[in-house]
């Protein structure tokens, strides 16, 4: 949409669309204040694209009520052409990008994970509680399980796994790995980076990696089923389910997830996404006040 600068802000990267151009910035630094980071991205985008944007929309990973201050972001952007800011959690923009107005659930699993179910009148957000308290089945969760399995193998508490060799490439002395990891400012991404190795080794037949992968698929499916149960008003309702994000590139994980969904007691179809989170961020500008997702959106006009 012309006149909209849309931001899809995640921990791994920030995607921006403005004036028909797509830009990519480094991901959100969760150790720093959020709004200054978003404002800097918006200002940089306006400078680089020359776009004439009157509305800034943003879907933000891990957005909290405390941080969702659209008026403060509008003030920080401090651009005369921008007269409106619309903020939402990235579960909202992921849903809009993937399913649009179709009732169902979208599970977005990358470094973290959040699932959003939307019914005729109700909305249910499941998980997305961060790496310390939740994010079951996410890239971080998979990486954490991988490192746990490695250290169990080192101790003799668990079976041997090819994941040990992967960990030793990063930390030759695994007895000191926990010290290095705890001191690493980028430790969340470091842990999550092991998810791709779990996917590869699962495909190559490593039993420990396969077990982690199947469990992750089950956790993600459980979140979807929980979301649909909370928004369902009629047992005959049909729902669409969309799985997006990097962890679903694993064929074994996707298969485990799909088999759980197929065995559920819902009338459900697993579908491909219509678009991406950045498309959902663009769609925020047109979200009507009576849409079930409207209460989960923060707006400010200047």
Q: Indicate the helix (H) or strand (E) that contains 254.
A: helix 251-262
Residue with tokens 């190559």: 204
**77 confidence band (pLDDT: 50, 70, 90):** very high
Q: Which of 73-82, 118-127, 138-147 has the highest mean pLDDT?
A: 138-147
Q: What is the Cα–Cα distance from 260 to 54, expressed in whole angstroms?
A: 44
> pLDDT (tens digit, 9 = 90+) per residue, 235-258?
889 999 999 999 999 999 999 999
Helix (H, G, I), strand (E, B) or coil at 16: strand
Please tell me whether residue 192 adopts helix, strand or coil conformation. helix
pLDDT at 8: 96
Sign of the Cα torsion 93, 99, 102, 104 reads: negative
CB-CB contact of 25 with 13 (8 Å):
yes
Is the confidence at residue 268, as pLDDT, over 80? yes
Provide the pLDDT for residue 29: 86
Q: For residue range 2-31, what is the model confidence (pLDDT) as tens digits?
A: 699 999 998 778 999 998 899 999 999 888
- Distances in whole angstroms, Cα of residue 285 to Cα of each of 57, 69, 82, 131, 132: 7, 17, 13, 30, 33
The pair of three-digit structure tokens given for residue 262, joined into one six-digit string:
């197929």
User: What pTM value is reported for the model?
Assistant: 0.84
Which neighbouring-strand residues pair with 270? 241
* Domains identified in the chain and CATH numbers: 4-93+277-301 (3.30.420.40), 101-273 (3.30.420.40)
């Amino acid at each position: 949409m012309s006149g909209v600068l849309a931001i899809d802000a995640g921990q791994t990267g920030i995607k921006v669309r403005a004036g028909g151009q797509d830009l990519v910035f480094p991901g959100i630094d969760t150790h720093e204040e959020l709004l200054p980071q978003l404002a800097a991205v918006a200002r940089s985008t306006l400078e680089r694209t020359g776009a004439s944007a009157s509305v800034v929309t943003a879907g933000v990973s891990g957005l909290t009520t405390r941080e969702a201050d659209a008026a403060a972001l509008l003030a920080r952007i401090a651009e005369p052409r921008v007269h409106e800011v619309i903020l939402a959690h990235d579960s909202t923009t992921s849903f809009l990008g993937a399913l649009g107005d179709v009732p169902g659930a979208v599970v977005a699993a990358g470094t973290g994970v959040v699932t959003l179910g939307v019914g005729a009148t109700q909305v249910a957000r499941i998980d997305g509680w961060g790496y310390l308290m939740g994010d079951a089945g996410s890239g971080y969760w998979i990486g954490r399980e991988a490192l746990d399995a490695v250290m169990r193998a080192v101790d003799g508490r668990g079976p041997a796994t090819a994941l040990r060799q992967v960990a030793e490439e990063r930390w030759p002395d695994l007895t000191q790995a926990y010290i290095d990891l705890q001191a690493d400012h980028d430790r969340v991404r470091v842990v999550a980076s092991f998810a791709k190795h779990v996917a590869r080794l699962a495909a190559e037949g490593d039993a420990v990696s396969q077990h982690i992968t199947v469990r992750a698929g089950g956790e993600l499916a459980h979140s979807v089923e929980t979301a649909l149960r909370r928004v369902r008003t009629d047992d005959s309702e049909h729902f669409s389910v969309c799985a997006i994000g990097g962890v679903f590139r694993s064929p074994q994980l996707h298969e485990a997830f799909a088999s759980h969904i197929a065995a559920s007691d819902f009338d459900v179809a697993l579908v491909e996404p219509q678009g991406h989170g950045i498309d959902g961020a663009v769609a925020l500008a047109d979200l009507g006040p009576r849409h079930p997702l409207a209460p989960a959106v923060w707006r400010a006009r200047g």
